[in-house]
Amino acid sequence: MAHPSVPKGLIVSVQAPEGSPMREPEVIAAMAEASLLNGAVGVRLESPEHIGAVRRRCPKALIIGLWKRSFPDSSVYITPGWDEIRQVWSAGADVIAIDATERPRPGGQQLAELVRRVQMELNAPLMADVDSLANGLRAAALGCQWVGTTLFGYTEATAQLEPPAWQLLAPMREQLPADVGLICEGGIANAAEASRALVEGADAVVVGTAITGVDLQVARYVEKIQSQLTP
């Protein structure tokens, strides 16, 4: 299968937490369209429902799809298994994002077997969400076409580290095959940091909370303001 070329520029992660009014598919689709109309080269979406809603509203959009599901026997939650992979693809994603760390997967599923099955049965491009250089290189060797720094700082092995994953970008770009896309994702707080990610070697940068995270952003503002108002 030919490696899909990674678009250069900004990919907006359009997601909302459970229980938020922003999780309505129509709201997600509107935010995705607004992002694309203002120059985003793609969107990253969570759940088959949201992927489908954006695909209907924005038929030509580049969609990186994932599905966050939690299981009691594993800390892997980003598209952890075959069922989630298949449903994300069926919903209309162009690229499927999966956890590609070393952590055990639900039900004993194996990353190598999942990648092989995707290649054989779906012929779908994969974005490997990783937390380290070693896991990024392993994912590329297994056949993932894109590698993202998404889980740096969010796994047990990297919990002491703070995203963005600046220290991963240069060595990843140097050691990954030239046709594997490198995406910086996680902790990008402003436009200057997004630009820096590209300068340091990323093909594209994913920004979520800083752009579309209404719930978290409002809560942060309120917390800061309340600290000034409290006597």
**pLDDT tens-digit map of 13-28:** 999 999 999 999 999 9
For the whole model, what pTM was predicted? 0.96
| pLDDT category of residue 6 using cuts at 50, 70 and 90 | confident
CA 226 to chain centre: 32
Say if residue 230's pLDDT is above 90. no
What confidence score (pLDDT) does residue 2 get? 47
What confidence score (pLDDT) does residue 1 get? 42
CA–CA dist 180, 163 (Å, integer): 22
Q: What are phi and psi of 183, to 5 degrees?
A: -120, 130
CA distances to 51, 134, 143 from 164, rounded to whole Å, are: 26, 17, 25
CA 196 to chain centre: 18
